[in-house]
Amino acid sequence: MVHKEITRQLKAKINSPLYSVGDLLPAEKTLAVQYGVSRNTLRKALKELEDQGLIERRHGAGTWIRNKHFQASVTHLDSFTEIARNEGKTPSSQILRFELQTPSAEIAKSLQLEDGEQVYYAKRLRFIDNVAMQMEETWLSASRFPDLTLAHMKTSKFAYIENECGVRIHGCYESIVPALPSPELAQLLQISQQDPIIKMHTQAVDEQHNPIDYSILYTNMFEFQVKYFLPRKTEFSPQE
């Protein structure tokens, strides 16, 4: 349905850094022209956003941003759990799979494993305030982290690694690409198969730059908006 697509597009814009809570949206006539739909179709989309608590429509005054599902500014490496809690939100995880397995050649190479070493594989759906934000697949060396349990993966992987294993996470390599979700992923994230997602390959490393984990994150870009600030560590010294 057309109004569903307009709802998703408007939600993405509302949750983006372009708007803040309290901002006024353009007039209905302007939005209808902008999205190439009728006023009636636009009003159906706005009604859905109002029912979700994102906007408030006041007769004669316009449409205001009432809430944003999730937006955060990040200035250094934080886990999903830390990002949510820093914003006063409640994170949770649903474990879809957790098992010991023989890694693929790609995973073994990424984790620098010896022949025959096994890995823990976890597949979990991440929520913030009960809204599905991200699906994560992650692999960790079973020999390096032998005490990893289902309970650890239900909370914070980083907390287990640092607080229980005494491994300091130095940083994380990230590679980001846009993608379209599979039918299973679209259902988990409650989006359409035509809605783009953010697919991120990540690898945390310790202070000796040894790999800690390897993960693939699939993020619902309509719900989970994170703005990063990456400080420059050294000052530029112009050459004379």
Provide the pLDDT for residue 240.
44
Q: How many CA atoms lie within 13 A of 23 on its CB side?
A: 14
In angstroms, the CA 37 to CA 168 distance is 53
Q: What is the bridge-based pairing of β-strands 91-101 and 119-128?
A: antiparallel
Whether the Cβ atoms of residue 174 and residue 201 lie closer than 8 Å to each other: yes
How many beta carbons lie within 10 A of that of residue 176, not counting itself? 11
2-65 placed in CATH 1.10.10.10: yes
CATH code, residues 73-228: 3.40.1410.10
Residue-range domain boundaries for the chain:
2-65, 73-228
Same fold, 2-65 and 73-228: no
Provide the pLDDT for residue 2.
85
Provide the pLDDT for residue 158.
92
Provide the pLDDT for residue 237.
54
In angstroms, the CA 152 to CA 162 distance is 12
Please give the average pLDDT of every successive group of 10 residues along the chain, which has 240 residues. 83 78 90 92 91 85 81 75 87 96 96 96 94 95 96 93 95 94 94 89 95 96 76 58
Report the interhelical angle of 28-35 vs 39-51 (nearest 10°): 110
Whether the Cβ atoms of residue 36 and residue 1 lie closer than 8 Å to each other: no
Residue with tokens 């353009």: 26
